[in-house]
């Protein structure tokens, strides 16, 4: 059975560090006949990371906290960031770098898309709202799961092929976003304030990053299912 790496998130619960992964990713992968392999965030994981990287067939990157700006040449104060976890950054970047170099299928959401951009030499905004002056709200804490904003799709891209629509109304759970697009990446969608909402690398077997979450609005568009179908198909074709 093909194996998909997912690097976990961690939080402090009752004074104890806890690793976790949203169950929906596990359901969507296992339900398509591939095995999710969770890479935990722990210091000792670094000592055995090569074992994970010696036997896997693709990588899925879920949402998460802000990426340490040291990784993209900025000097933002850490205190101004949200859920910044340097150890998660280190482990996830090592896995993503290996997956890119090995031409493994890669799918990233939200933070995952931003990591894809960084590994291609790009940069991200500390907070997109500081740039757009809230012309588009990209995270609404008062209406967290039901909030939507529109994006327009770029013709002749995988996203346009999956959704077959010029525009979508998508969920939004982020305050950071692409500032400088990485080398080799092609934009697939834009929000009304011109923030990039999707990217892919046409020279890679399958490398897609989406700023929105198709898994959290799974039944709203048929294209949401095709995102996962196409990723898993690329994994199984290896």
Positions marked active-site: 110, 213, 215
CA distance 2 to 232: 9
CA distance 124 to 177: 5
Q: Are strands 149-153 and 123-125 parallel, antiparallel or unpaired?
A: unpaired
φ/ψ of 167, rounded to 5, equals -140, 155
Q: What is the H or E stretch that residue 45 is in?
A: helix 45-53
Could you please report the per-residue DSSP string of 166-232?
A: SEEEE--B-S-EEEEPPTT-EEEEEETT--EEEEE-TTSSSEEEESS-GGGGTTT-HHHHHHHHHHH
């Amino acid at each position: 059975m093909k194996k998909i790496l997912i690097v976990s998130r961690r939080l402090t619960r009752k004074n104890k560090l806890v690793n976790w992964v949203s169950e929906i990713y596990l359901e969507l992968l296992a339900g398509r006949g591939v095995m999710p392999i969770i890479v935990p965030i722990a210091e000792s994981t670094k000592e055995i990371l090569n074992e994970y990287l010696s036997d896997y067939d693709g990588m899925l990157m879920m949402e998460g906290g802000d990426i340490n700006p040291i990784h993209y040449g900025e000097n933002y104060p850490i205190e101004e960031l949200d859920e910044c976890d340097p150890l998660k950054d280190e482990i996830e970047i090592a896995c993503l770098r290996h997956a890119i170099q090995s031409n493994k299928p890669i799918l990233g959401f939200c933070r995952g898309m931003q990591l894809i951009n960084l590994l291609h030499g790009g940069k991200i905004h500390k907070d997109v709202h500081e740039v757009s002056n809230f012309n588009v709200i990209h995270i609404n804490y008062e209406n967290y799961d039901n909030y939507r904003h529109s994006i327009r799709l770029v013709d002749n891209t995988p996203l346009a092929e999956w959704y077959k629509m010029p525009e979508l109304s998508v969920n939004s759970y982020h305050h950071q976003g692409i500032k400088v697009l990485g080398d080799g990446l092609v934009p697939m969608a834009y929000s009304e304030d011109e923030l990039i909402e999707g990217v892919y690398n046409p020279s890679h077997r399958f490398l897609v990053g989406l700023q929105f979450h198709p898994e959290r609005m799974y039944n709203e568009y048929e294209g949401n299912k095709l995102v996962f179908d196409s990723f898993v198909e690329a994994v199984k074709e290896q």
